[in-house]
Amino acid sequence: MARTLAMFTDTSLCIGCRACEVACKQWNQLEAETPHWTGSYQTSPHFTDKTWRHVKFIEKKDERNEPKWLLMSDVCKHCNQAGCLEACPTGAIYRTPFGTVDISQDICNGCRYCVSACPFGVVAFNHGTGRVNKCTFCVDRTSEGMKTACAKTCPTDSIEFGYRDELAAKAKKRLAELHAKGVKEAILYGEDENGPLGGLNAFFLLLDKPEVYGLPAEPTLPQKPIVKDAGLSAGAAILVGLGAIVAFRERGGGDRGGEE
């Protein structure tokens, strides 16, 4: 298997220009959308079937009660443990040789199990095609050794694309630099392969807690509590078995009584 490809987004360098959004739409031939009022400078509140790269504008107060902007260009995480892939009943969602997660439009039946299985709300249903869509890491570019359209167009190098191990090392170095400069609130999100979902193949340097950016602090797959369910199933099986025994004895007793 080829080395895992990944994307590192350093939000401390993001200027909110939305060049990545435009490049994503242009390269993937996604239709324009009417902007929605979000109470901020965001053009939409979340990902859609036509917005695969989503720039977030978060306004808050700093420690001196002064206005502060947090900017983040968000994207599909291409999780190492992908809820969408595990939930797909048709095999339409698959992992590429580069470790990324893609959707075969020819196989997708539009059941939308993957939409509810994604802990980041990335996968969106396309009412026009009856199928689901999300970022593909520009598979038609990256499979030929090129960068994703968003990474290529980012004017501040906030978005970087390459091999995961190299980007993870770079992310850790950048984090150490910011901490040394006194930016103690800076954290890495999704970089740790021993962390939630086995690490993310699109990971981020954040300047606040994940929840502030609308990200789950501990993303999990929407799986059933297996141990609990197993216990309930075992209990149910015991009750059914006892019921069968009682019924058998009662029936057997009745038959014997008739013979006597």
DSSP class per residue in 208-230: S-GGGGT--SS-------HHHHH
Tokens standing for 40? Answer: 């901020």
Answer yes or no: is 36 within a domain. yes
Confidence (pLDDT) at 37: 77
Confidence (pLDDT) at 42: 87
- For the cut 60, the answer to whether the pLDDT of residue 224 exceeds it is no
Q: Which residue range(s) make up the domain with 165?
A: 5-213
Q: Which of 36-40, 70-74, 93-97 has the lowest mean pLDDT?
A: 36-40
Q: Point out the domain boundary residue: 194, 213, 232.
A: 213
CATH of the domain at 64: 3.30.70.20
User: Rounded mean pLDDT of the chain?
Assistant: 88
Give the percent of the chain with pLDDT over 70.
85
- For the cut 90, the answer to whether the pLDDT of residue 56 exceeds it is yes
Same domain, 209 and 228: no
Beta carbons of 174 and 10 less than 8 angstroms apart: yes
Residues 200, 90, 51, 99, CA torsion sign: positive
Answer yes or no: is 60 within a domain. yes
Q: Which of 51-65, 141-155, 176-190, 205-219 has the lowest mean pLDDT?
A: 51-65
Q: Point out the domain boundary residue: 213, 236, 252.
A: 213
Number of compact structural domains in the chain? 2
Answer yes or no: is 218 within a domain. no
Same domain, 107 and 27: yes
Answer yes or no: is 140 within a domain. yes
| Other beta carbons within 10 Å of 11 | 21
Same domain, 161 and 235: no
Same domain, 97 and 67: yes
Answer yes or no: is 219 within a domain. no
Tokens standing for 222? Answer: 């929407």
Same domain, 93 and 168: yes
What Cα–Cα distance (Å) separates residue 255 from each residue in 99, 152, 245, 258, 260?
66, 83, 15, 5, 9
Answer yes or no: is 27 within a domain. yes
Same domain, 163 and 74: yes
Confidence (pLDDT) at 203: 98
Same domain, 231 and 145: no
Beta strands in the chain (DSSP E): 5-10, 54-61, 67-74, 93-95, 101-103, 124-126, 131-133, 159-163, 187-189, 202-206
Tell me the residue type at 179.
Answer: H
Same domain, 162 and 255: no
14-37 in b/e form (b: 16+ CB < 10 A) is bebbbbbbebbbebbebeeeeeee
**Higher per-residue confidence, 238 vs 49:** 49
Full-model pTM:
0.83
Q: Which of 46-60, 99-113, 127-141, 223-237 has the lowest mean pLDDT?
A: 223-237
Same domain, 59 and 171: yes
Answer yes or no: is 16 within a domain. yes
- For the cut 80, the answer to whether the pLDDT of residue 242 exceeds it is no
Answer yes or no: is 34 within a domain. yes
Tell me the residue type at 140.
Answer: D
| Other beta carbons within 10 Å of 182 | 8
Beta strands in 21-180 (DSSP E): 54-61, 67-74, 93-95, 101-103, 124-126, 131-133, 159-163
Same domain, 155 and 95: yes
Confidence (pLDDT) at 228: 38
pLDDT band at 222 (very low <50, low <70, confident <90, very high): confident
Q: Could you read off the pLDDT of 90-105 as tens digits, one per residue?
A: 999 999 999 999 999 9
Same domain, 149 and 229: no
Q: Could you read off the pLDDT of 158-193 as tens digits, one per residue?
A: 999 999 999 999 999 999 999 999 999 999 999 999
Same domain, 228 and 125: no
Tell me the residue type at 63.
Answer: E
